Amino acid sequence: QTVDQTRARVQGGHCLVAVAPAPAGTVAGAGPADRLLGTVTLNRAFDPNRQPWARATPWFYRDDVAHLHQYAVAPAAQGRGIGGALLAAAEAWALQQGCRAIALDTALPAHHLRQRYAAAGYADVGDVQWAGKTYRSAVMLKALGGGTAPGADDPAHHAALVRCLWAHFQARDWAAARHLLADDAQLHWVASGEWLL
């Protein structure tokens, strides 16, 4: 992704960073600055009107689920617990915000990442095909605060599903809308006389 995309995602969310402090005795502006070791960005429910890409999965439209993304640790800093500390801080922030769970997505072929998230308590709840990607991504979820993970059958998920469906309708993305509906569903748009699905 571009620097501008990264900047927009960080500015649009809650960004946590891990830094190595500058060496002792360093005068501000006279030597090396604090060195970035890792980062993670979190968001609450996305807005279908401002982030239409999120309509690919209802998990990112739920008010009770935070979304974790932009998660990385510098290669030289890996294996020192920085990633785990960032995940713990992200989960603590989401819990403080009143979220029941935290969701993330990662490439299905990235087995090592999926195993790492599973070891941290995240479980697959679906998959998604992001526009412009040649692979599908797993959507993973972790319950927070010792509670049970929200499910696809609860009212909050139904509300998020309606938000996704409506965003697909607004975009006239009938194939994506069809994916969210029952196999035998039909939709007749009375105003235009169209049969959309």
The answer to whether residue 168 is domain-embedded is no
d(CA 126, CA 120): 18
Helix (H, G, I), strand (E, B) or coil at 141: strand
118 or 165, higher pLDDT: 118
Whether residue 39 is contained in a domain is answered as: yes
Type of residue at 125: V
Structural domains of the chain, count: 1
Residue 161 lies in a domain: no
Quick check: 19 and 36 in contact, CB under 8 A?
yes
Burial of 69 per CB tally in 10 Å (0-12, 13-18, 19+): middle
Percent of the chain predicted with pLDDT > 90: 40
**pLDDT for 123-176, tens place per residue?**
999 888 887 888 989 999 999 988 888 888 888 888 888 887 888 788 787 777
How many Å apart are CA 100 and CA 151, to the nearest integer? 11
pLDDT at 18: 92
Average pLDDT, the chain: 84
Tell whether 41 is covered by a domain: yes
Query: Is residue 197 over pLDDT 60?
Result: no
Cβ-contact 85, 187 below 8 angstroms: no
Structure confidence by residue, pLDDT tens digits, 18-50: 988 777 766 655 555 568 899 999 998 887 777
Identify whether 180 is part of a domain. no
Euclidean distance between CA atoms 153 and 166, whole angstroms: 19
Give me the percent of the chain exceeding a pLDDT of 70. Answer: 90
Residue of 100, 141, 99, 137 whose CA lies nearest to 124: 141
Q: 166 in a domain, yes or no?
A: no
User: Domain for residue 193, yes or no?
Assistant: no
Q: Residue 119: inside a domain, yes or no?
A: yes
Domain enclosing residue 36, as ranges: 3-149
Res. 196: pLDDT tops 90: no
Give dist(CA 125, CA 60) in Å, integer. Answer: 12
Q: What is the pTM of this model?
A: 0.79
CATH code for position 131: 3.40.630.30
